[in-house]
Amino acid sequence: MKTINDFNFDGKRALVRVDFNVPLNEEFQVTDATRIHAAKPTIIKILEDGGSCILMSHMGRPKGQVNDSMSLRHIIDEVEDILGVEVKFVSDCIGAEAEKEAADLSPGEVLLLENLRFHSEETSGDVSFAEKLSKLGDIYVNDAFGTAHRAHASTTIVAQFFADRKCFGSLLAKEIESIKKVMESGEKPVLAILGGAKVSSKITIIENILDKVDHLIIGGGMTYTFVKAKGGNIGDSICEDDKQELALEILKKAAAKSVQVHLPVDVKVANAFANDAKTKVVAVDQIPEGWQGLDAGPQSLENFKKVVLDSKTILWNGPLGVFEFENFAKGTIALGNHIAEATENGAFSLVGGGDSVAAVKQFGFEDKVSYVSTGGGAMLESLEGKTLPGIAAILA
């Protein structure tokens, strides 16, 4: 697996696929610069070697149309602040102007290309478009894990024009290593915590990780499909009725592989889906009609704490409750604290998937876990056992 550490970029132009698809407010200011910070180590390494950087990214879904609200020119100031260097900008990502600007770069300089998705050929994975991009650099570096699951021109197809002059950036390399630690080389016991609303969105992950984990904690809305399948009363809680058979099948497979499955035993229920609803704690299989489970209960959290603190490798994907409501965030916060404690005690912890990453950021756990993945869909597909096209293209 070649990374930027296998190359000296002295005098070279690096064509770097970054993921600068960052949120902007109405004044077009960046509201979360996490992805820009994440790309910084790769860019700085290239510049310190004596190379120059041509950065390419998409923003939003302009569907092949030029749309100023999704122009990457809006983020130039933020990128300059984070990198500490001037960033040049070109109003297209291919063509004569882009080629001239790239060719004129001096060592230590950075050029940001305009939104790749202003060309429909980017998302269709067009070979000719990828070849035009390839003319801009000497070495191709993919550092965009968030888009590695898409076979787009800049994430996958372009790599074929660089033969042995392609590599992973430090962020993408870290993502691959972190997932490998959980799925292949993790110290036992290995624990996976899967939350969120639907069993259906996690089926493939569960089936793929059963051979790798020793413990599986199931929380969040998924809980109630399992509880109902086992004959419990779940009141008005969220449930995928058509997945009850599958839930029982998962429990059966887990038992056959000696994986211990931990479901909540008690839950905090509410008489409405609202932060100010009436609440009480009841057994998970005895939720009255008109009430719905919105968070894990105190006994469940105690049970989960023991499992977490006994684990050496931990994957966390999905919250334990409706953490967006302050009154139902306690379970997710408690779980975060337990994982932080386990990490401090030497466990490796990987957090991935949109909602759990949002929770980790919201409640300040980012620096208390081993690694927070930057890619939602890419992370999930990796956990499902799929080979991501953006990764395969570098390894080819």
Residues 222 and 369 in one domain: yes
Name the nearest CA neighbour of 314 among 206, 216, 385: 216
Q: Is the residue at 366 inside a domain? A: yes
Among 135, 168, 201, the domain-final residue is: 168
Tell whether the model's pLDDT for residue 106 goes beyond 90.
Answer: yes
291 contacts: CB under 8 Å, gap ≥ 6: 235, 236, 269, 270, 271, 280, 282
Identify any residues that bridge with 215 across adjacent strands, giving them in sequence order.
191, 260
Q: What is the pLDDT of residue 379?
A: 84
Residues 156 and 195 in one domain: no
Residues 108 and 185 in one domain: no
Identify any residues that bridge with 140 across adjacent strands, giving them in sequence order.
15, 166
268 near 279, Cβ under 8 Å?
yes
Q: Is the residue at 392 inside a domain? A: no
Identify any residues that bridge with 280 across adjacent strands, giving them in sequence order.
269
Q: What is the pLDDT of residue 217?
A: 97
Q: Say if strands 233-234 and 286-287 run parallel, antiparallel, or are unpaired.
A: parallel
Residues 110 and 221 in one domain: no
Q: What is the pLDDT of residue 126?
A: 98
Q: Is the residue at 388 inside a domain? A: no
Residues 53 and 153 in one domain: yes
On whether 355 is known to bind a ligand per the annotation, the reply is: yes
On whether 58 is known to bind a ligand per the annotation, the reply is: yes
Residues 279 and 199 in one domain: yes
On whether 13 is known to bind a ligand per the annotation, the reply is: no
Entry pTM: 0.88
On whether 336 is known to bind a ligand per the annotation, the reply is: no
Confidence of residue 355 (pLDDT cuts 50, 70, 90): confident
81 near 71, Cβ under 8 Å?
no
Q: What is the pLDDT of residue 280?
A: 97
Residues 20 and 160 in one domain: yes
Residues 207 and 342 in one domain: yes
Phi first, then psi: what are they for 53, rounded to 5°?
-120, 130
Among 168, 190, 219, the domain-final residue is: 168
Q: Is the residue at 9 inside a domain? A: yes
Among 119, 143, 168, the domain-final residue is: 168
Domain with 235 in it: 176-383
Q: What is the 3-state secondary structure (H, E, C) of 86-104?
A: CEEEECCCCCHHHHHHHHC
Which amino acid, residue 154?
A: S
323 near 360, Cβ under 8 Å?
no
Q: What CATH number did the domain enclosing 86 receive?
A: 3.40.50.1260
Residues 259 and 280 in one domain: yes
238 near 197, Cβ under 8 Å?
yes
On whether 35 is known to bind a ligand per the annotation, the reply is: yes
Q: Is the residue at 390 inside a domain? A: no
On whether 183 is known to bind a ligand per the annotation, the reply is: no
234: exposed, middle or buried (Cβ count in 10 Å: 0-12, 13-18, 19+): buried
The overall average pLDDT reported for the chain is: 95
Q: If you average pLDDT over residues 15-31, what whole number do you get?
A: 96
Residues 279 and 372 in one domain: yes
Residue whose entry in the numeric block shows the structure tokens 């919250």: 319
Q: If you average pLDDT over residues 142-166, what whole number do you get?
A: 95
Q: What's the distance, CA 104 to chain centroid? A: 35
Tell whether the model's pLDDT for residue 17 goes beyond 70.
Answer: yes
Please state the domain count of the chain. Answer: 2
Q: Return the active site residues.
A: 35, 198, 354, 377
Q: What is the pLDDT of residue 354?
A: 64
Q: Is the residue at 393 inside a domain? A: no
On whether 324 is known to bind a ligand per the annotation, the reply is: yes
Q: If you average pLDDT over residues 7-31, what whole number do you get?
A: 96
Confidence of residue 353 (pLDDT cuts 50, 70, 90): confident
Residues 187 and 253 in one domain: yes
On whether 345 is known to bind a ligand per the annotation, the reply is: no
Q: Is the residue at 83 inside a domain? A: yes
On whether 11 is known to bind a ligand per the annotation, the reply is: no
Q: What is the pLDDT of residues 111-147, one digit of tens each?
A: 999 999 999 999 999 999 999 999 999 999 999 998 9
Residues 269 and 307 in one domain: yes
3-state SS assignment for residue 222 = helix
Q: What is the pLDDT of residues 290-340, one digit of tens each?
A: 999 999 999 999 999 999 999 999 999 999 999 999 999 999 999 999 999
On whether 232 is known to bind a ligand per the annotation, the reply is: no
Lowest mean pLDDT among 90-104, 328-342, 382-396: 382-396
On whether 353 is known to bind a ligand per the annotation, the reply is: yes
Residues in the chain: 396
Q: Is the residue at 70 inside a domain? A: yes
